[in-house]
Amino acid sequence: MKLMKIADEYKSRVNKTLDYIETNLDRSFTLDELAAVATFSKYHFHRIFMGVIGETPFHFINRIRLQRAATFLVMNPKMSIGEAATQVGFNDLSVFSRNFKQHFGQSPTNWRTQMSQKSNLSQINSNPEKVKEELSIYFCSYTKSIKWKTNMELNKSIEIKELNDMTVAYVRHIGPYKGNEELFRGLWGKLMTWAGPRGLMAQPDLVSLAMYHDDPNITEQMKLRTSICITVPEDTKVDGDVGKMLVEGGQYAVARFEVQTHEFEQAWSWMYAKWFPESGYQPDDKPCFEMYTEEPKDGVFKVDICIPVKPL
C-alpha cells in the first residue's frame, strides 16, 4: 500500500508538470524550471519523468508542439506555417520544418494538403445514402448568443457561449481509450471515491468533465491523454494521483448531443467535419472537453461537447 501511494504521488507531480507545459507551450523551458514545478531534484526529475511518461521531458515537449502545430495546419486554413510554428514555441522556421518532417515523415505543406484532402474526401464519401445534413444559423435574443439549427439526428443544439474559468480535480489516463467503457467507469469511480468523503460530490453547482488533451487522429494511441474531472473550490487540496488544474474559460462552441457509448466518436467527428467548415469559426488553442449535465438514462448520455473557438 505504501509503495502504491508513493507511485501515485510521483504520477501526480509529473501530471502537474504536464499541465504546466501545456499551458505555456509557446515558450522555452529549462530542466530546473520543470523539476521545480514537480518539486523534484533536477538530478532525479528527468529519470522519474521518463519512468512515468515513457519519454524524456524535452522529447514530450517537442512531440506535443509538433502535434499541436499539425492540428493548426489542418483546422486553421488561413494560418501560415510560420504562424503555426511560432504559436507552439518554434522561433526558427527551418528548425520547425526539419523537426516536423522527422516526426511526420513529410513537410508541413504536404501534411496540410494531404490531411485536408483526406478530410474532405471522408465527408463526401462517408455515407452517400444518408439524408443530407443541413445547418442554419440564428441569433437568440433571449440568451444573447449565436445558435444553429441542424437535422443531424444526434445533435439537439449548438451555440457559442462564454464559459467561465473552472478549477477541477482530475484523474488522468495515458493510453488508448476509444470504446473502453470499463476504463471510464474505473476513472470516474476513482475520482468519486476520492471526492465523496470530502463532500465534493454534493456541491450544488458541480460540473463533470472528460477532457481530451490530444488529437486522436495525430497522436499515437499509447500517448493519448485523457482527464476525468469535477469542478472544485479553488482552495481544494489534492493528493495521490488526483491532480488539480484550471480549465481556461472563453468563447466555446457548446453542442448538445444525446448519444449512446458507441456514438460519441460520430458526434465529435460531425463537429469537425460538418459544423466547423460552415460555422465561420476555427478551433482555438485550448483543450476541448465533454460536459455532462445529468446522469445517463437507459444507456443514453446527454453531453455537451465544448470546443474553444475563435473567428476564422
Percentage of the chain beyond pLDDT 70 is 91
Q: Which three cell numbers stand for residue 5?
A: 501511494
Torsion of CA 259, 260, 264, 269, to 10 degrees: -60
Q: What is the pLDDT of residues 249-276, one digit of tens each?
A: 999 999 999 999 889 989 998 998 889 8
pLDDT value of position 291: 95
- Among candidates 51, 31, 39, which has minimal Cα distance to 13? 39
The enclosing H or E element of 119 equals helix 108-125
d(CA 246, CA 56): 25
Q: What's the half-sphere exposure (Cβ side, CA atoms, 13 Å) at 4?
A: 1
| Cα separation, 28 vs 92, whole angstroms | 13
What average pLDDT does the chain have? 88
Query: Which CATH fold topology does 2-117 show?
Result: Arc Repressor Mutant, subunit A (1.10.10)
How do the domains of the chain map onto residue ranges? 2-117, 159-311
SS3 state of residue 285: coil
Q: What is the CATH number that goes with domain 159-311?
A: 3.20.80.10
pLDDT tens-digit profile of 65-110?
Answer: 999 999 989 888 888 999 999 999 999 999 999 999 999 999 999 9
